[in-house]
Chain A
Amino acid sequence: MGGEGWLFLFSVLMAAVLLFTMVFFIIMFSDLECDYINPIDLCNKLNQFVLPEMIAHAFLTLCFLLSGQWLAFLLNAPLVGYNVNKIMSKNHMYDATEIFRTLSGHKKESFIKLGFYLVSFFYYLYRMILALISGTS
C-alpha cells in the first residue's frame, strides 16, 4: 500500500470521527429542545469540541494540500475558509445567552456539515480502495 493509500485510510478515519462529532452535536441540540440539558451545560460541553473539530478538519485539508490531492483539497478548502472566518469574527463558540435564538441556525449548520462529512467519507473510502487496487495490481 502506497502513500496515497495510507493518506486516504487516515482520511476515512478522520471523516468518521468528524461525522460522529456532528451526530453528537445534533443530538445535543435536540436534547436542548427537549429540555434534557440546560443551555449553560450544553455550551460548555459543545465548546470543548468546536476547536478540535475545526483543527482536525484543517489538518486533513493541509495533508491533502501537501500530498497534492488537489480535488480533495478543493473539496475541503471552502469549509476551512468558513471556519477561519468564524474564528476571526469570534463567533465560533456557542453562546448560552443566545443559543435559543440561534438554535435553528446551529442545527442547520450541523446537518450540512454532517452531510458534507458523509459525502467525503465515501469519497475517501473510494479513493482508498482505488489506491489499494492500483497498489496490488
Chain B
Amino acid sequence: MGEQLPAGWEARWDQQNQAYIYTEQSTGQQQWEVPTQPSFPSQDQSSAPPPPAAAPSGKAGRRQYPTAQLQSMYTAQPGSFEYQNQGQQPQQPQHQQQQPAYGDASLSSAAPSFFTPGMAGGDAGAGAQGGAAYPQQPMQQPQGGQFQQYGGGAPVDQMSNQFNQMNMAGGAGGYTGGAPGAGGFEQKQLHAINTINLIGMQPDVRGLEAPPPPYLIPQSASVTQSPYNQPDPSYQRCTLTTMPATQSLLNKSKLPLALVMAPYRSVREADGDMPVPVVEDNVIARCRRCRAYINPFVTFIEGGNRWKCCLCGLSNEVPQLFDWDQAEGKPADRWARKELNHSVVEFIAPTEYMVRPPQPPVYAFVIDVSQAAVQSGMVATAAQTILENLGNLPNADNRTKVAFIGVSTSLHFFSLPPGATEASMLVVSDLTDVFLPKPVDLLVNLTESRTAIESFLARLPEMFSDSFTVGNALGSALQAAHQLIGKIGGKIIALTASLPTLGEGALKARDDPKLLGTSKESSLLTSASSFYKSFAIECSKAQVAVDMFLFSATYTDVASLSCLPRYTAGQTYLYPGFNASRPEDAIKFGTEFGKVLSQPLGLEAVIRVRASRGIRMSAFHGNFFIRSTDLLALPVVPLDQSYVIELQLEDDLKGPVVVLQTAILHTTCYGERRIRVITQAMPVTDTVGELYGSADQVAIATYLANKAVEKSMNGSLDDARNVVTNALSSMLSVYKNQVTSSAGASAQLAIPDNLKLLPLLACGLVKHVGLREGASIPPDLRSYAQCLLTTLPSQSLISYIHPRFYSLHNMPPDAGTIGEHGVILPPTLNLTSERLERHGLFLIEDSQNIFLWVGHEAVPRLVQDVFDLPSYADLVGGKFTLPVLDNPFNQRVNAIVAKTRELRRGVYRPHLYVVKSDAEPALRSWALSLLIEDRMDGMGSYAQYLTTVKGKVNG
C-alpha cells in the first residue's frame, strides 16, 4: 500500500473503521481518500509548528522532514538556510560559548597551553607565568596544523590567533559535553590541538573533572538535533571522540580505542540526572539486517515511509504504529518520539524478547556463622541490616523471594513457612553431596513469610552466639543456595568472615610473605581453586549472580572468592579487620549493605554492542560472562558498574560519521522486560593529529587500569605497570614525532592539552595499591583494589587513582557552606606533601577512604574546634567519627566530609581516619602513599616518572 502513495503521505490501517487512513506527514492532516498530490514540506516549513521542544530554536522546521528529496534540495542550493547561518557567524566555534569551568584569573593567565604561530616560545612563557610557581615552557605549534582547516577560508594568521584567544578563555574546561557544534557547520569540524609541555610543570589537577572533548559530528547527522542525542559521559564514553578511518591509522597513533560504559548507572536527581526516557508503546523499530534500534542518527527516506539504518545502511520500513499515539488514539508527532530525541532510552519489550515470563527478584543469603563471624559481630550487624531493609528490597508486586543459609562446618537451612511466626532450623552436615533437607519453605515469598523472616532475623545472632565451630564450608553452602534459587535465578549474597576451609572450593592460606614483591606474586592474584570459576559458570547459566562480602581479620583469599562476582556480574566488598563493636565499622558495612539490598535489579540481562560496519568488539573487561563473541551475560546488572570494551577496525570506515549502539536487555524487578539502548555517534578522521585532539584522558586511564589488572593476572605486576608506562610513552612518542613533528631528543615532553593529566593518572596507576611495587601489600588488599579498578565507574575511579586533597585549616570562607550546588568544597591541591603544613588540617580522599591529616603543631584551638579534644596530644589516630559541635568550623568540616561521602555514584561509604603527622607510622604512610606526586619507598616522584617516560620517548 505504502509504496504507491505520493511522497509525504502515509497510510495506516484503522482497526475501528476497517479502512486505511491517510496522513499528510507535514501537517498531520488525515483523510480517507487516497491522496494524489505529493506533500513536500517547503521552505516555509520554518513557520510550521516547531518540532520537539528539545530542538534548538532558530532551526525549527529545517530538519523537520529530512527526507531524501529535502536533503538533495539543501545540498543543491548553496545559498540555502544553513550556509547563510554560517555566513552570519563565520568564526564562532562552540568553544567560545563556554565559560571557563575554572574561571580563576590566575589560572587562565598561568596556563600557556597555546601558542601564537610565529611568536617565540620563550616570550610567551615569560609573559604568561603570572602567579604560577613552576616554570612553564610553551612549545611551538607546528605550522599547517589543525587551526587553518578549522577556519575554512579565513586568513590563516588571524584565524589561529583568534582561536588561541578562545582557548585561553576556555581552558581545560571549555568543552561542551556531548552536544554537537552549535553553529550549524556542515563542513567538517576539527578539535583544536594545543601542545603543552609536561616537564617542570605542576599539573593542574582541577582539570580532572573536565568533560571529554566534544563529538564534533555534523548537525545534519541527527534527524531531530536534540541536545540529548549523545549520551552523558557517565553512561558511555570512548577513549577517542573521533574514530580513526582505518586500523593502520589507529595502530600508527598508538592510542587505545575502547568504549567505557556504565549502562545501568544510577540516576541521582540531586545531581540533575535525567531519568531514562521510556518508550512505552511497544513499537520497537529495528534494522532487519543488523538488528540495530532506531535512534537519532537514522535518516528517513521515501517520504518518511522508510528509515535508513545508520549502522549498516539498510532501508527498513517504518512500523505502522510509529506515528500513532496509542494512548490517545490519534496521530502523534514522529519528531517527538523519545527514541529519535534521546541517546539513552528504554523500550518496554513485548513477549518476543522473553525466554520465559519475567522472574521475581530472588535473594539467597549465605551467612557465615562460624566463631570468627559471630565474634566479629558480622552476623548480628548483617541480620540487623537485612531486617531493617526488608521493606526496601525491590518488591513492588509482592513477588520477591528470599532464602537464608547459615554456614560453618555444616549447613544450616531455615524453614520459614508462610504465616508461621517462628523459623525452624534444619542442619545438613554432608558437605560432599549437597542436598536440600526440605523441598518447600526454604525459599519463601517475602511478603507471605514476613513474620517468620523477621523473627528469624531477630533471633539469628543469638542462635549462634555460643558457636565455637571453626571452619567454613562456603563452597558447599553456595552450591546449596544455587540449588535453591537456580530454577528462577537471582542473587546470592554471601557474607563470610573466614577462609573457606571445608567442602567444595576449600582454600588454603597461601599468602606466603616470601612471595610478595617477587614475580610470583601475581599467582596470589589469581584463583587458587578451579571451583570458583566452574561454579561461576554454572551460576551464570542459571541466571544467578553472587555478591561477596568478606570480613576476615586474616587472609581470606579475595583473589579466589572474587572470581564468583567477576563472572556472574556481582561485586566483591571487603571489610578488613571488621569489628562491629567499633561503630565506624558497623555503620560503614550497614550503610553499604543496606544500599546493595535496596538497589533496583536488572535481571537476566545481556549486553550487546553494535557498531557501524567495519568496527568490531575485540575484548571485554568487567564483571560478566562472555557468552559469545559479542554478547555479555549478566544474571543481575548491578547499578554503577563500569565495563570496558575494546574496539578494532576490520574494514576501513567509509562514512563521515559512525554510530555505536549499546543495548542492554533486562528484566526489571517489577516484572517488565526492557531494553536500554545507548546510541553514540562519532565523526571519522584520517589524521593522527585529530585523533590526539579528540582523545579522552579519563576514558584512556580507565582503559589502562583494566588492561593493567588483566596483565597482572596473566603476567606479573611488573608487566602490568609496564603496560601503563609503555602505553603512555608510545603515545607521547607518536605525538612528538608525528603531530608536533619535532624529531630528535628534546628536553621537553609534548602532550596535547586534552591529555595533559594522563601522565599523572598513569603515575597514579603504577603507584596504586593494586599495582604498586613493593613487598608490604597484603594480597587481599591488592586483589580487592584490582576488583575496584576494574568495576568502579570513571567518576569514582579517577579519584581512586588520583585522590583529592584539600587544605582545611585555611580554606576559603565559603568552603563547607551551602552554595548553589550544595556544599562548596575547598579547592583541590596537588598531591604532594609540600602542601602539608605542620600546623594544618588536611583532607585526602580516594572515594574509598577519607584521611584527616593533623599536623603535630596544630594549635589546641583547631583540635578543640574540630575534634572536641583539648590538644593534639589527646588525639588518637585511626577510624574516627567527627563530633558535631556548635562552632562554624566544625560544621564546615563535617559538611565537607558528608559531601565527600555522597559525592559519587555507588554504594561506598568511605571510612574517616584521623592521621597524626607524628604517630602510627603504618596509618601515616598509608595516607602519604596517596600523595602520588611524591617519592615513596622505592618509587619515584611524578617528576621522576615523567623523566622515565621522556627517556622512552626520546630513546
Contacts and interface: CB of A to CB of B under 8 A. Distances in A.
A40 B619 CA distance: 18
Contact of A97 (B533, B619, B628, B629): B533
Nearest to A33: B629
Contacts of A97: 533, 536-537, 567, 625-626
Interface in A83-128: 95-97, 99-101
Contacts of A99: 626
Interface in B520-552: 533, 536-537, 541
A96 B535 CA distance: 12
A contact face: mostly helix, strand, loop, or mixed: helix
B567 A100 contact: no
A22 to B, nearest CB: 22
A39 B533 contact: no
B628 A35 contact: yes
Given A95-B533, A97-B537, A38 B627 contact: yes
Given A97-B567, A100-B620, A101-B619, A35 B629 contact: yes
Given A97-B533, A97-B567, A101-B619, A40 B541 contact: yes
B355 to A, nearest CB: 14
Contacts of B620: 100
A83 B536 CA distance: 27
A46 B627 CA distance: 17
A92 B217 CA distance: 48
Q: In which size bucket is the chain B interface?
A: 10 to 19
Interface residues of A, number: 12
Contacts of B541: 40
Interface in B604-629: 619-620, 625-629
A40 B537 contact: yes
A100 B537 contact: no
Nearest to B538: A40
Nearest to B620: A100
B627 A39 contact: yes
Nearest to B566: A97
Contacts of A40: 537, 541
Contacts of B567: 97
A99 B537 CA distance: 13
Contacts of B629: 32-33, 35, 100
A115 to B, nearest CB: 26
A96 B536 CA distance: 10
Name the residue in A32, A39, A96 with the highest tally of chain B Cβ atoms < 10 Å from its Cβ.
A96
B650 to A, nearest CB: 13
A120 B220 CA distance: 63
A123 to B, nearest CB: 36
Interface in B413-471: none
A80 to B, nearest CB: 24
Contacts of A100: 619-620, 626, 629
Contacts of A35: 628-629
A102 B560 CA distance: 20
Interface in A26-47: 32-33, 35, 38-40
Interface of B: 533, 536-537, 541, 567, 619-620, 625-629
Given A32-B629, A96-B537, A97-B536, 12 more contacts: A33-B629, A35-B628, A38-B628, A39-B626, A39-B628, A97-B533, A97-B567, A97-B626, A99-B626, A100-B619, A100-B620, A100-B626
19 contacts: A32-B628, A33-B629, A35-B628, A35-B629, A38-B627, A38-B628, A39-B626, A39-B628, A40-B541, A95-B533, A96-B537, A96-B625, A97-B536, A97-B537, A97-B625, A97-B626, A100-B619, A100-B620, A101-B619
